[in-house]
Amino acid sequence: MKFILHVNGTPRQIDVASNTPLLWVLRDELRLTGTKFGCGVAQCGACTVHLDGEPARSCAIPVKAVKQRNVETIEGVSGSVAEAVQNSWQELQVPQCGYCQSGQIMTAIALLREIPRPTDSDIDSAMTGNACRCATYVRIRKAIHDASSSIEGK
Amino acid sequence: MTRLRAKFRPSRRQFLQGSAAAGAGLLIGFNLSCSSDSPGQGPDSPGEEFSPNAFVRIAPDGTVTVYSKHIEFGQGTYTGLATILAEELDADWDMVRVDAAPSDATRYRNLYFPEVPGIGPIQSTGGSTAMANSWQQLREAGATARAMLLAAAAQEWGVSASALVAERGVVSHGGSGQSATYGQLAGLAAAMELPKEVELKDPKDFALIGTQVPRVDVRAKSNGTAQYTMDVYLPDMLTAVIARPPRFGGKVASVNKAAALRVPGVVDVVEIPAGVAVVAEGFWPARTARRALSIEWDDSGAETRGTADLLASYRQLAGQPGELARQEGDAETAIAAADRVVEAEFVLPFLAHAPMEPLDCVIRVDNGECEVWAGSQAPTVDHWAVAQVLDLPMDKVKINTLLAGGSFGRRATFDADVATEAASIAKAMASERPIKLIWTRQDDIRGGKYRPMYLHRIRAGLDSDGNIVGWQHRIVGQSITAGGILDPGGPDTTTAEGAATLAYAIPNLTVDVHTVPVGIPVLWWRSVGHSHNAFVVEAFFDELAAAAGKDPLQLRRSLLAGHPRLLAVLDLAAEKSNWNSPLPQGKARGIAVHESFGSYVAQVAEVSLGAGNAPVVERVVCAVDCGIAINPDNIRAQMEGGIGYGLGAALHNQLDVDGGRVVQSNFHDYWPLRIHEMPQIEVHIVQSAQAPTGVGEPGLPPIAPAVTNAYRQLTGQPIRRLPLLPNGADAVNPSEVKQ
């Protein structure tokens, strides 16, 4: 089936089976490889993208359900919050293997856009769906606080 | 600057050979650097480059490319190795980038690993050896390059090399005021003779080692551009998934491909030794068609027992003496004469590695040549295996090593399982189209190569003063190496390591092992034998301390006089955790200390009780001695990671097998540690002048016993079975944890 998706601000036409998960459209059709395959069942968060700004697990969303919503991936995410999060990720040397980090960063950006000064408990609630087998969680927590402070400081 | 004369080891000639070929044929675009500007254009720059050995190349624009013989899967190897070389080279860190070395064991073997019969030396990452086996090699490689750059400048300026200073990629001559960058000197340096000997820096002059050098891969891993095998897309590439037998050792009896072949996008369905491969235009059609396959399996050679059956047979074996791994004095007699005897049985489960990037491999076979893209811990084993499957000479197979999204041992196999599957599909397809093989998470969790399940029986005797007079430890489980190409013979070290090496001074001691043949494939899992032995030894030790009425820290200290580095980390962790200060009601501390892979780690866990009496690990204080701290921040990161990975397993993970079928299948029932369970972690690094050792694994072994020792303080309940909260259970079941 043919679909038009709005990805990172651009309309993209694709022709795939209607139950194809958004993840595999992004990767196999559009070559946006920053969004990762981790579990396929919305349990790890490696595939997190934004749908109209809300974090969503792209491995569990069939392409036909995306409709007119704007899809934002790690390649397209921008703005002061995104910049602050990505800078803090580097400043605090968060990633180890790095494979889950696009998803972590996308969830963290959505959190800070909604709650600019999150508590540890806010961070736990928002980030608990994003698994990291390297267990970089200590630094993820610090980086979110750090990004929050840097945005407020501006 | 003081420089010490290096003693060359026999390996020197080998690693300085074949210099100019080092960079040839590498993929452009996968290299990593921490600089925000892409440093230089490398091979495309005008002028001549300088490749004095297999580990470094300096381009005319000054870019320093370090070739890493070890894979980067999160442990910080790329940065650490480049730091060692750049230190002796006096390079400008902003100009340093790192590429994966090609697959070539003659230049890039792991100097700590033995030769494999039939294959020879291997290029491999494992056993936390990357820094340790590369330390001298890369210091010499960097110092050699530096000496040649200085010689080039000396010749060009007509001055003595000893009058020159090298700093941050620039050579300068104080007398004449002349200076030149390494890039400017590259062409001249390439014409210099290889020095017969070089001098290495006095560690007090280190400018990069021991400092906060930023990781080379963090920028690419914070913006989605880091390239993993999963991200390789070649023109015309197909995607394959494999239906594997539901029981280990099963085979395909018959397959009906018709429905799978009707799925739009499916190109072919082929039988390979591992199962039935579906090859399609992308992942989704491949995975959809796999579900449409109808396969009859032949289980006549399959393992049909389950974990309950195995446990019963292990328990029986534990009643009989095994193969002796260590004996001191006469433990039997000492325990028989003891004032009190403490006995316990411990059970540890099968564990999957479950790295975030599922297993994968890209292969292209075209016109008698093959190219592979993979994140393998043993590229030369893959190289050999692919050549065997395709019946190609080794020089017609090229292996490209990419970043791996975690591994924890899973990508270090004897049989190159994933690359062999990919090559088998390519062979069966006989198509020139590239193929990406993807394992799903279910394939990964159910795919075997687990940390083995173990049953331990341990007993010890105390005299009337509470001294430990005898210790008997018996371990029953599968060997990781027995019968394979890496079997060293003798009592199985992968079963006994960390138990047979018990550091405590106990006069009468036996450790023996039963190695059981089971048809469930097993493999090294982060810290290998230490992953279960440190738990059993350190948890049981605390039970003994309690029985003797002694402080667990003081009892450990009294028996570690012969192990000053263990004692030092133990004391440091105790001091930094304020071991002797009281905690609020409802909180307790547990301590554990363990040496693995030449590094020494002690941890103190502060634990409280949550709902359902579940342990809540609030804080962990960790002390580590890994010799010279090449990158202190990365050491902290690896301690944090080892603690988190070990804690996740101790709290949640077990694989059950029922009638030969693995029960768990994905992260919903093989529960990864999540952020709300991650404790605060404080890492203290012992200052050391010893040669560096590894940090990828040694942070893991102490965490489980540190936590369970604290838990026992709180509840009186000794923990003798892991995990505490199997696969997401929200309460501790006392009958489950104590056998």
CATH number given to A80-153: 1.10.150.120
Distances (CA, A) of B480 to B36, B488, B494, B532, B665: 43, 11, 6, 13, 23
Q: Do A137 and B73 touch (CB under 8 A)?
A: no
- Write phi, then psi, for B54 (nearest 5 degrees): -75, -5
- Lowest mean pLDDT of B274-278, B605-609, B734-738, name the range: B734-738
Please state which of the four CATH numbers 1.10.287.610, 2.140.10.10, 1.20.1050.10, 3.30.365.10 is assigned to the domain occupying B307-351+449-737.
3.30.365.10
Question: Between residues 642 and 671 of chain B, which touch chain A (CB distance below 8 Å)?
Answer: 643-645, 647-648, 666-668
Contact partners, residue A85, CB within 8 Å, separation at least 6? A105, A108, A109, A112, A143, A144, A147
Counting residues of chain B whose pLDDT is more than 90, the rounded percentage is 88
Res B46: pLDDT: 59
What is the 8-class DSSP label of residue B237? -
Cβ–Cβ < 8 Å for B491, B529: no
Q: Is the pLDDT at B40 greater than 70, yes or no?
A: no
Res A142: pLDDT: 98
Counting residues of chain B whose pLDDT is more than 70, the rounded percentage is 93
Quote the mean pLDDT of chain B. 93
Res B17: pLDDT: 37
For helices A120-127 and A137-153, give the axis angle rounded to 10 degrees.
120
Domain B3-205 fold is: Aldehyde Oxidoreductase; domain 4 (3.30.365)
Quick: pLDDT tens for A2-20: 999 999 999 999 999 999 9
- Token representation of residue B404: 């791996």
Res B72: pLDDT: 97
Quick: pLDDT tens for B301-320: 999 999 999 999 999 999 99
Give the distance from residue A146's alpha carbon to the nearest chain B alpha carbon, in angstroms. 15
Res A152: pLDDT: 83
Query: Mutate which of B227, B231, B284 to test chain A, going by most A C-beta atoms within 10 A?
Result: B284
Q: In what order do the strands lie in the sheet with B96-100?
A: B50-53, B56-58, B64-68, B96-100
Instruction: Output the CA torsion sign for B35, B38, B41, B42.
Output: positive
* Across B499-527, average pLDDT: 97
Q: Is the pLDDT at B417 greater than 80, yes or no?
A: yes
Counting DSSP H helices and E strands in chain A, the numbers are 5, 5
* Across B247-253, average pLDDT: 98
A90: chain B residues, CB-CB within 8 Å = 214, 218-219, 222
* Residue given tokens 């001191």 in the structure block: B328
B676: chain A residues, CB-CB within 8 Å = 124, 128
Local confidence band at B548 (pLDDT 50, 70, 90 cut-offs): very high
* Across A15-39, average pLDDT: 98
Q: How far apart are CA B336 and CA B469, in angstroms?
A: 10
3-state SS, residue B166 = strand
Question: Between residues 671 and 710 of chain B, which touch chain A (CB distance below 8 Å)?
Answer: 672-676, 678, 680-681
- Token representation of residue B313: 């047979």
Q: How many CB pairs under 8 A join A and B?
A: 182
Comparing B194 with B39, which gets the higher pLDDT?
B194
Domain A2-72 fold is: Ubiquitin-like (UB roll) (3.10.20)
Res B35: pLDDT: 65
A37 → closest Cβ in B218, B227, B358: B358
Quick: pLDDT tens for B127-147: 999 999 999 999 999 999 999
- Write phi, then psi, for B121 (nearest 5 degrees): -65, 155
Res B722: pLDDT: 97
Res B21: pLDDT: 35
- Asked if the C-beta of B455 comes within 8 angstroms of chain A's C-beta atoms, the answer is no
Q: In what order do the strands lie in the sheet with B340-348?
A: B323-328, B509-515, B468-477, B454-462, B340-348
Res B738: pLDDT: 63
Give the pairing type, strands B599-609 and B587-596: antiparallel
Q: Closest-CA residue in chain A for B697?
A: A134
Question: Between residues 592 and 631 of chain B, which touch chain A (CB distance below 8 Å)?
Answer: none
- Write phi, then psi, for B634 (nearest 5 degrees): -70, -35
Q: How far apart are CA B681 and CA B674, in angstroms?
A: 15
Local confidence band at B556 (pLDDT 50, 70, 90 cut-offs): very high
Quick: pLDDT tens for B680-690: 999 999 999 99
Local confidence band at B33 (pLDDT 50, 70, 90 cut-offs): confident
Cβ–Cβ < 8 Å for B599, B661: no
Q: Do B408 and A41 touch (CB under 8 A)?
A: no
Res B22: pLDDT: 35
Q: Closest-CA residue in chain B for A91?
A: B214
Query: Mutate which of B77, B222, B682 to test chain A, going by most A C-beta atoms within 10 A?
Result: B222
Q: Is the pLDDT at B657 greater than 80, yes or no?
A: yes
Q: Do B356 and A139 touch (CB under 8 A)?
A: no
- Lowest mean pLDDT of A56-65, B365-374, B487-496, B513-522, name the range: B487-496
Q: Do B678 and A96 touch (CB under 8 A)?
A: no
- Asked if the C-beta of B66 comes within 8 angstroms of chain A's C-beta atoms, the answer is no
A104: chain B residues, CB-CB within 8 Å = none
Where, residue-wise, is CATH 3.30.365.10 in chain B?
3-205, 229-300+359-438, 307-351+449-737
Local confidence band at B418 (pLDDT 50, 70, 90 cut-offs): very high
Say what the alpha-carbon torsion angle A84, A87, A93, A94 is, to the nearest 10 degrees: 40
Distances (CA, A) of B663 to A41, A154, B666, B680: 17, 52, 10, 33
What is the 8-class DSSP label of residue B525? -
Query: Mutate which of A23, A39, A130 to test chain B, going by most B C-beta atoms within 10 A?
Result: A39
- Token representation of residue B570: 């133990």
Instruction: Output the CA torsion sign for B127, B123, B202, B696.
Output: negative
In chain A, where are the structural domains located?
A: 2-72, 80-153
Q: How far is CA B180 from the centre of its chain?
A: 41
Cβ–Cβ < 8 Å for B90, B166: yes
Local confidence band at B731 (pLDDT 50, 70, 90 cut-offs): confident
* Residue given tokens 């990419």 in the structure block: B402
* Across B351-375, average pLDDT: 98
Q: Is the pLDDT at B9 greater than 90, yes or no?
A: no
Q: Do B667 and A27 touch (CB under 8 A)?
A: no
A99 → closest Cβ in B218, B356, B633: B356
Local confidence band at B30 (pLDDT 50, 70, 90 cut-offs): low
Local confidence band at B47 (pLDDT 50, 70, 90 cut-offs): confident
B223 → closest Cβ in A86, A124, A132: A86
Architecture of domain B229-300+359-438: 2-Layer Sandwich (3.30)
Q: Closest-CA residue in chain A for B222?
A: A86
The pTM (predicted TM-score) of the whole model is 0.95
Q: Is the pLDDT at B691 greater than 80, yes or no?
A: yes
A96 → closest Cβ in B219, B225, B641: B641
Res B729: pLDDT: 81
- What string of DSSP letters covers B52-116? EETTEEE-TT--EEEEESS--SSS-HHHHHHHHHHHHHT--GGGEEEEEPPS-HHHH--TTSPPB
A49: chain B residues, CB-CB within 8 Å = none
**For chain A, what percentages of helix, strand and coil (3-state, to nearest 5) are there?**
40, 15, 40
* Across B194-220, average pLDDT: 96
Q: Is the pLDDT at A80 greater than 70, yes or no?
A: yes
B284: chain A residues, CB-CB within 8 Å = 16-17, 20-21, 24, 28
A101: chain B residues, CB-CB within 8 Å = 221-222
B675: chain A residues, CB-CB within 8 Å = 123-124, 127-128, 130, 132, 137, 140-141
B407: chain A residues, CB-CB within 8 Å = 97
Quick: pLDDT tens for B574-619: 999 999 999 999 999 999 999 999 999 999 999 999 999 999 999 9
